[in-house]
Structure formats: C-alpha cells, structure tokens
Amino acid sequence: MTQDSIKIFCPATIANISCGFDVLGLALSAVGDEMVIKKVPIPGLRITKIIGLDLPKEVENNVAGVAGLAFMEASTYKGGFEIEIYKKIKAGSGIGSSAASAAGAVWGMNALLDAPFSKRELVQFAMAGEKLASGVAHADNVAPAIYGGFTLVRSTDPLDIIPIHAPKELYASIIHPHIEIKTSDSRKILKTSISLADGIKQWGNVGALVAGLFQEDYDLIGRSLVDHIVEPIRSILIPGFDEVKQEALNAGALGCGISGSGPSIFALSKGLATATRVTQAMSNVFVKMDLSYDPYVSEINTKGIQIIS
Amino acid sequence: MTQDSIKIFCPATIANISCGFDVLGLALSAVGDEMVIKKVPIPGLRITKIIGLDLPKEVENNVAGVAGLAFMEASTYKGGFEIEIYKKIKAGSGIGSSAASAAGAVWGMNALLDAPFSKRELVQFAMAGEKLASGVAHADNVAPAIYGGFTLVRSTDPLDIIPIHAPKELYASIIHPHIEIKTSDSRKILKTSISLADGIKQWGNVGALVAGLFQEDYDLIGRSLVDHIVEPIRSILIPGFDEVKQEALNAGALGCGISGSGPSIFALSKGLATATRVTQAMSNVFVKMDLSYDPYVSEINTKGIQIIS
C-alpha cells in the first residue's frame, strides 16, 4: 500500500436474520456509505467532513471516531488519520448505518497501514462504535460489513466470527419505511426470558438455515427463515409489517423479517427477477398506506468493505 | 428384494448433542441391536423373540411393535410380519435403545416390501414407538438411526429432517455408567423457560456447530460443543459428570456432554487414537468411583440401519 488516502465503500448490512437474532448478519451491495481515510503526519484522529447526515464531528461522540480511537490505541502507528464520511445509509434505518461508519473507519485505517490487524480484530475495534450508537457492543452488523457475505457471531466474549457460505443466486430485498424506531427502545420491549419450546424451535431453525446456506438448498433456507422469539414482539412497532411480509411471500420470497431492530423489512429470494418482484410487492403496501419508503434490491456482498479509489 | 427375512443392525444413537438439545443427533457404529424381520402370509404383527432385555412381547406395549403398527396402518400390504429382537443396547442408557427397536422394525419392514416409504415417513412411524417409551414422540434418536450420520430435526410438526455432513475423522466416545435415570424424570427437572441471553448463546453454538461439521473445522466443532441450557441442570443427576468431562477434555476431546437424557456421557474427538485415549480417561473416573460402566469408541455411522444378512 503506497497510497496515503483511500476512498472506500462501506456496505449496509442486515442483522438478526429471522431465527438468527443477535448472531446472523449479511452484507449488501446496493446500498452503503463512502468514506475517505487519509494518513497524515499530525498525530491523532480527526473527522474533517460529514455529508448526508447531521452527525457530531467530535471523535468521542462519533461512532467512526470511537471505533478509530480503539484502533489507534491498539496500533503502534505514531501518525494521524483524517476521515471524511459520505453517509448514504440513513440513521435509524435498521440496515447498519452506524456499523458501516465504525467498520469503515477501522478497515480503512488498517488498509493504509498495510493491514497489521486481522478482520476479527477490526470487528472488535468497530464494536466500540456500536456501543456508542446503541449502548451494546454488538457485532452482528460490523462482522458482515468487514467479512462480507453471511457471518455468524458465535460469541462476542471472546469474539468468535464464522463466515457462512452465501449461495450465488440469493438476493435481498429491503424496504425502509420512514418511521423512527430507536435500537435502544426496540431492545427494551424484548422479554428477558423465553420458553424452552420456542428456544428449541429457534435453534433448530438456525442450524437448518446454516445447513441450507452451505448446501445452497433454497427451499430449506426458506423453511428456516422463521423467528419465533423476536419478530412477534418487534413487528408490532412497524406499521404494515404483517401485510408486507405476506406480500413478499406471495411474490415468491423465501422468507421475510425485520432487518436489525427495524423499521426496515428484508426478504431473501432466489434470483434477481424474483427479488425485484418481491421489492415491488413490499413497496406497494407502503404506497397504499401513504407511507414514504426507500426500496432496495441487492445481491449478497461477499467482499464486504472495498477500496473504490 | 426377493428375501422374505432379513437380519439388520440397528445403531445406538446420541441425541441432544450439547447445544443441539432436542434437534441434533448422530448414529454410532460400535454399538447397536440386531433384529430379524420376516414377511409372513398370516396378517398382523408379532414379536416372536426378544433376547438380551426383559421387554413385553405384546405389540401394543413394545416400542418396535407400536412403530410397526403405525407402519402397517399406512401400508397397503395385506400379509404379516414377525420380529425377533436381539438387544445389545441397554434400556435407559441414553444412547437410543428404544429408538433402535422402533426404527429397526419399520426400516426392516419397509426393506422387505421394496421400500414404499421414504426415510422421513419411516421416522414418522418410529416416533410412535418413542412416544410409548418416553411419552414424547421425539425424533432426535430415530432420525439418525434411519438416516445415518448427523441429523438435525428442524421441526417435528411437520417433520423436517436435515442430514448434516459428518467429518471423516470424527469419532465418538461413550461411557454408560450403570445408574438409572428415566427419560421422563430427566425431562421433568428441566425449566420450561430460559433466559433470552442463554438462548442466543445456544443458537449461536448450534449454527456454528453445523458450520463446523460442513467445513470439517474440528476446532470450531470443539468451540461449539457447549450447552448453556440443559447440561447445567441434568448433569446433577449423573455422579462424576464434571470430572468425566474435564478428563475427556484433558485427554484431547473436542467436546463432551450428556448423551440423550443420560446417564451416558459422550465425547467427540478428531481421530481414533484420541477418541480411544478419551474413552480411557473417562473410564478411569468411574473406576476410581467404583461405579460399573460400559465404554465405547465408535466412528460416526454414516449409513444408519443396514442389512447384515
């Protein structure tokens, strides 16, 4: 790496994939932020520009800043970094807006220093940014942003991330309805205990989903995209959720659920044509409700964060 | 199939593989029952011989009988069957004694009729036998007995069984201490609710274990063989459990847990030499406690029930 400045693409991500609450995530190609990371002689970390969202530039109050500080604390590098953030992922959309910034900062800094840290270590640094954003140092968005594809966070302490094979014909549909749900609020409404019977169903589905992904068994993926625990509670916060889900399934989606802690709703489909039809069917529900929204159709981004220039 | 009589091997099985409570099972090669199934002109089902255990011969009170009746009710076959059972798997051992009989009966009858039923249907019939044995029509022992290898029971209603790849160098150690725990009793001590936090750990481990099996990643298999839900409760019923587990891990086992509802304890290891050493280390604990036991070392039986002659 001879460059002192890189521009990178930082993908949006879907966490809590149906049965995979708090463990399964995937990275998208069709939507993401851009960031410019510069290596500079003056020590310290500065956020010099933020376009697209009104976010604090003070590093201690910015998720990219906090993640970057965690990186620099562990690094032997004596110089400094400057960060420009071009936000395309809306805050509070449920597709990993804070994760993209946190992961992008540390990934970019690592690339400029010839990659002294592993992907796993970068996730660990980025989790500091997630903690600032939501109060919880979760890894289920930053892991797929950094690794690409599907990731399973087996454990956060110690951090154990397992890349899961992404079938080639799998596409994601996302609808982001313009309503606000705070991650911290949507955590509060969850029950702290669940029935053993529901737990058994959930881990049966997680095991089956992982098997379906490795075997590219789309029917099995569809049968396993079921959430007995969180969706029944959180979906109450998303107007039109049940109808959107039903329309997605009617249009041929393998499964449909809440992206992250919402309000975005995702569906997975086999093939781009079906995913496009599914996105349209989901959109129609919000059109009918006169609720504005952003629709996306995306392949699974198997590379994660990448250098643009 | 021109034979009117077959002798079959019906493998012992490990259910509830650590994190996979109620969903994951595997079949063994080193221990199992033998059964002779005969096609006869006289309609009906008769159990003509039971060697090795004192079990009822009346078909309605015998797990093989009840499973066989479920088979015959669904079949168009007008003749009858006679069954001889040579029990090698001790009752109440926790390695699928009732499942071997139930699965063997229906597998053998199906083979003699040129296989009108699928493996999935055979599991469904065999589950009737399991219901007689334990009060619950569970599939986590009969599924691996019939499919072989590792199986994941995603759902019992509707029944959905997913074969999971068995890594070639994986071996099982089993120690059956001669104490009695009834399946129904060991179900009663389980709590009906669990914490969401423990649930998340459990489904993270199930997903990771399935990934480890497909990728033949033995370290990952080891890290995932953890049970946060059931083992802490049920292990109290098995004297010496903690020490046996520690000795198994010290001897190189990837993981160790309760087989089925106990009292058998299983360990999984990479390679036959390690598995043999692990079995010895586990045995030593019961020797020291002056508790009699049966030890087994086994490859994973990827074929399931097979015709011997």
Last residue of a domain, which of A141, A165, A189?
A165
What is the distance, to the nearest Å, from the Cα of residue A78 to the centroid of all Cα atoms in its chain?
31
Confidence at A137, pLDDT banded by 50, 70, 90: confident
**Closest C-alpha to A252, from A282, A221, A274, A280:** A274
Domain contains B87 = yes
Split into its structural domains, chain A has a count of 2
Range of the domain at A185: 170-299
Query: A136 and A37 in one domain?
Result: yes
| Domain co-membership, B143 together with B100 | yes
- Catalytic residue, candidates A13, A151, A156, A183: A183
Do A63 and A116 have their domain in common? Answer: yes
> Does residue B308 sit within a domain?
no
> Which CATH number fits the domain that encloses residue A243?
3.30.70.890
How much is the average pLDDT of B247-264?
97
At residue A89, does pLDDT exceed 60?
yes
pTM (predicted TM-score):
0.96
Band (B136; pLDDT cuts 50, 70, 90): confident
B133 and B192 part of one domain: no
A contacts of B191 (beta carbons < 8 Å): 196
The two most distant CA atoms of chain B are separated, in Å, by 58
- Asked whether residue B20 is assigned to any structural domain, the reply reads yes
Q: Does B159 touch chain A (CB under 8 A)?
A: no
Q: Taking CA atoms, what residue in B is nearest to A204?
A: B154
- What length is written for chain A? 309
What confidence tens digit (pLDDT) does each residue in A140-160 have?
999 999 999 999 999 999 999
Gap between the Cα atoms of A182 and A136, Å rounded:
13
What are the structure tokens assigned to A101, written together?
């910034």
The pLDDT mean for chain A works out to 96
> Are A20 and B162 within 8 A, CB to CB?
no
Interface check for B139 against chain A (CB to CB < 8 A): the answer is no
Handedness of CA B195, B200, B203, B205 (dihedral sign): negative
Across-strand partners of B193? A195
Q: So what's the pLDDT on residue A250?
A: 98
d(CA A140, CA A126) in angstroms, rounded, equals 11
pLDDT higher than 60, residue A98: yes
Q: Do A174 and A131 sit in the same domain of this protein?
A: no
CB atoms within 10 A of CB B56: 12
The CATH number assigned to the domain holding A144 equals: 3.30.230.10
Average pLDDT, chain B: 96
Residue A207 in contact with partner chain B when CB distance is under 8 A = yes
Pair (B181, B140) in one structural domain:
no
Residue A35 pLDDT: 98
In this predicted structure, what is the pLDDT of residue B254? 98
- Picking from B165, B189, B219, the residue at the C-terminal end of a domain is B165
Looking at the structure, do residues A139 and A26 belong to the same domain, yes or no?
yes
Q: Is the predicted pLDDT of residue A1 greater than 60, yes or no?
A: no
Verify that A155 and A219 share a domain, yes or no: no
Residues in A touching B153 (Cβ below 8 Å) = 204
User: Tens digits of per-residue pLDDT, B39-73?
Assistant: 999 999 999 999 999 999 999 999 999 999 999 99
Residue A307 counted as domain residue: no
Asked if A196 and A118 sit in the same domain, the reply is no
**What is the spatial distance between Cα B161 and Cα B25, in angstroms, rounded to a whole number?**
11
pLDDT reading at B135 higher than 90: no
Task: Output the pLDDT for position B9.
Answer: 98
Question: What does DSSP assign to residue B96?
Answer: -
Q: Which of A126, A146, A165 is the last residue of a domain?
A: A165
- B287 in the same domain as B252: yes
pLDDT of residue A183: 66
With respect to residue B148, please indicate whether it lies within any of the assigned structural domains: yes
Specify the pLDDT at position B148: 98
Average confidence (pLDDT) over A112-116: 97
- On whether both A150 and A233 belong to a single domain, the answer is no
In whole angstroms, give the CA distance from residue A257 to residue A260.
9
pLDDT single digits (tens) B183-235 = 677 778 899 999 999 999 999 999 999 999 999 999 999 999 999 999 999 99
pLDDT band of residue B180 (cuts 50, 70, 90) is confident
Instruction: Tell me the pLDDT tens digit for each residue of A181-202.
Output: 876 777 788 999 999 999 999 9
Length of chain B in terms of residues written: 309
| ipTM reported for the complex, 2 dp | 0.96
Average pLDDT over every residue of B169-181: 95
Same domain membership, residue A221 and residue A125: no
| CA-wise closest residue to B211 among A146, A157, A171, A20 | A20
